[in-house]
Amino acid sequence: MLTSLAIWPNRLRWNEFKVILGTVPEFFITNRLLISTRGCSINCLDSSVEGRQKLIFDLHSRGLSNDEIAAYLNANELTKPLSQTLYKNKDVWSVLSKFKKRQLRKSESTTELGDWRICF
């Protein structure tokens, strides 16, 4: 077990499980469970910003182009949250790109179960 910790020194020992059978431990069963996720590093967004991202993605999923989405937002007097300026084609593309990456990070996780070992 120490060799695997030497390879990855930043991994904690809580991912190693041992099951001891019986009152006098004649043997135990051990395994390694590794769970990797990026979902824990997602920052919370302001509700108005998150709502605007969902609106833009909804318009995109209905088949509107970036120019049409920008025209829709500008016609409804929705401005960018920080600069309070009108939307352009590249702004809509940027919002869509960031939204898709954020959704991918939320659902991205991998689990890896090691080999069961019986130690006497």
Q: How confident is the model at residue 13, as a pLDDT?
A: 56
Each residue of 33-75: pLDDT tens digit? 777 777 666 667 777 788 888 999 999 999 999 999 999 999 9
- Between 60 and 112, the more confident residue is 60
pTM of the model: 0.57
| DSSP string of 58-71, one letter each residue | HHHHTT--HHHHHH
Q: How confident is the model at residue 19, as a pLDDT?
A: 57
Give me the mean pLDDT over the 7-30 stretch: 58
Q: How confident is the model at residue 84, as a pLDDT?
A: 87
- Between 108 and 86, the more confident residue is 86
Strand-pair category, 117-119 with 16-20: unpaired
Q: How far apart are CA 7 and CA 28, in angstroms?
A: 24
- Between 54 and 16, the more confident residue is 54
